[in-house]
Amino acid sequence: MKKLAIIGRPNVGKSSFFNRLLKERDAITSEMAGTTRDVKKRVATVLDREVEVLDTGGLDEGSELFDKVREKSIAAAKQADIILFMVDGKNLPIEEDKKLFHELEAMGKSMALVVNKIDNDKMKEKVWEYYEFGTQTIFGISVSHNRSINPLLEWIAKQLPYIPQAGELEAAEPDMMDEFDDLLDAYMEEDEEEGSIYDENDEMKESDEDPNHISVAIIGRVNVGKSSLLNALLGEERSVVSDVAGTTIDPIDETIERDDKTITFIDTAGIRKRGKIEGIERYALYRTRTMLERANLALLVLDASEPFRDLDEKIAGLIDENRLACMIVLNKWDKAPRDDYDKIVQQVRDRFKFLHYAPVITVSALTKQRIHKLYDMIIQINDNYSQRITTSRLNEALAFAMRKHPIPSMHGQVIRLYYATQYATRPPQIALIMNKPKGLHFTYRRFLANQLREAFNFEGTPLLFKAKKRG
């Protein structure tokens, strides 16, 4: 079993977290403790995995001197496979801690920096300070207020062995299979809507929308620079048109023409009007929701000069809900902290996982850095979002994928995918015609999606599958 050490100065909250980890397993723990006298073996369950937590409680005793902490920390870290380096978010980073952190990091073990005592939203800013330790594996938590503990638990679980893969399912325990079945049913339910949306003999349903008309929603919380970005975008463009012949454009929108495309920015009046009311979270979410209802493409604007916030995440979630094309715009790049591009993109990827398909671009609405690129990207993403892949190309790509990794059988039943066809655009939606639609494990579906993303340009667009039964 892998071993976990929680390391840090006295009073940062190590033992609270230790106890929290052990909480669910106390009965088993005490049994185990009886087996060995001096070393307390504490087994904790982290999500569905087990880990042995090293009792580093002794670290705090007589450890007023940092040298002592250092010595004991190194000893504990040596025994561990996974190291949590805990600091107190109420304090600024200490040079000695940073040095020790790097020393431990050099051991090459799985290691996370845990900034504890982030008791409220305001405290979250403090986590940012600790980015100077130079690690991406950083978690702001509050053990006492039970905040943001889950991402850390998930990270720990990820360091622990055994993640069942699609191919291993048959070998899994029977009751485990049931669990997977339930999961699968829940997943597939949405696909088995009443009345088939897809009839095999149907022609592809063309979207009634004109693929050359792109409705763009610029969204983000207050002060990230939406209105500045809008001005920069419209300033780029000489031919601002107020109306487009033959279409009714809501007067609160603004439309420009670019190449053969018409681009409408939705609710520009609302973006420019900076009332205090915008600061109210519920209102911001409501307004974003109504904008997204009319949009094809969302520009999610984030402030690169500050830590991301929960509200950023909530707003991003609405894009996912609406299955929109998306681009993530990291604004205020001119005053972004020393973090380099790769680091911040990684932070975006970690935090906005469900927008994995969205490209990330860094811009400055202030200095106009890279603003000109946004239009090309909008047009490219719209093309990807609106594209139709022919059935033959689609099936070639899928056949290639299935040769690489055949569909795993389910309960010993052979699962067949006869063919696939795209039945809708904006976003691309693909029907998989199968013998047993429920037999397609979601991990395999994800594999197919990734393969299609490699074969075609789906950058910036979600990709939807529906498994359908033949005949």
* Nearer CB in complex with ligand GDP: 97/303: 303
Q: What is the three-class DSSP state of 52?
A: strand
* Nearer CB in complex with ligand GDP: 220/439: 220
* Nearer CB in complex with ligand GDP: 16/228: 228
* Nearer CB in complex with ligand GDP: 116/331: 331
**Going by C-beta distance under 8 Å and a sequence separation of 6 or more, which residues neighbour residue 216?**
263, 264, 265, 266, 295, 296, 297, 298, 299, 378
Residue written as tokens 């190449």? 259
DSSP 256-322: EEETTEEEEETTHHHHH---GGGGSHHHHHHHHHHHHHT-SEEEEEEETTS---HHHHHHHHHHHHH
* Nearer CB in complex with ligand GDP: 319/424: 319
What's the CA gap between 334 and 331, in Å, rounded? 8
What's the CA gap between 32 and 18, in Å, rounded? 16
* Nearer CB in complex with ligand GDP: 18/333: 333
Residue written as tokens 């360091």? 159
* Helix-helix angle 174-189:442-455, to 10 degrees: 60
Residue written as tokens 């999961």? 183
Closest by alpha carbon to 127, among 90, 100, 101? Answer: 90
Annotated binding-site residues for GTP read 8-15, 55-59, 116-119, 220-227, 267-271, 331-334
Q: How long is the chain?
A: 471
Amino acid symbol at 37: R
* Nearer CB in complex with ligand GDP: 148/228: 228
- Minimum distance between the CB of residue 345 and ligand GDP, rounded to whole angstroms? 17
Strand locations in 209-265 (E)? 213-219, 240-241, 254-258, 261-265
* Nearer CB in complex with ligand GDP: 283/400: 283
What's the CA gap between 422 and 417, in Å, rounded? 14
* Helix (DSSP H) and strand (DSSP E) numbers for the chain: 15, 16
Cis-peptide, bond into residue 427, ω within 30° of zero: yes
Sign for the pseudo-dihedral over CA of 385, 389, 393, 395: positive
> Measured at CB, which residue is nearest to ligand GDP?
225
* Nearer CB in complex with ligand GDP: 158/274: 274
Q: What is the three-class DSSP state of 208?
A: coil
- What are residue 265's DSSP bridge partners? 216, 254
Q: Under the rule (CB under 6 A), what is the footprint of ligand GDP?
A: 220, 222-228, 271, 274, 331-332, 334-335, 364-366
* Nearer CB in complex with ligand GDP: 326/420: 326
- Minimum distance between the CB of residue 224 and ligand GDP, rounded to whole angstroms? 4
- Minimum distance between the CB of residue 136 and ligand GDP, rounded to whole angstroms? 24
Closest by alpha carbon to 364, among 224, 267, 468, 459? Answer: 224
Radius of gyration, CA atoms only, the chain = 26
Sign for the pseudo-dihedral over CA of 189, 191, 192, 193: positive
459: phi > 0 → left, psi -120 to 50 → alpha, else beta; which?
beta
Residue written as tokens 């680091």? 343
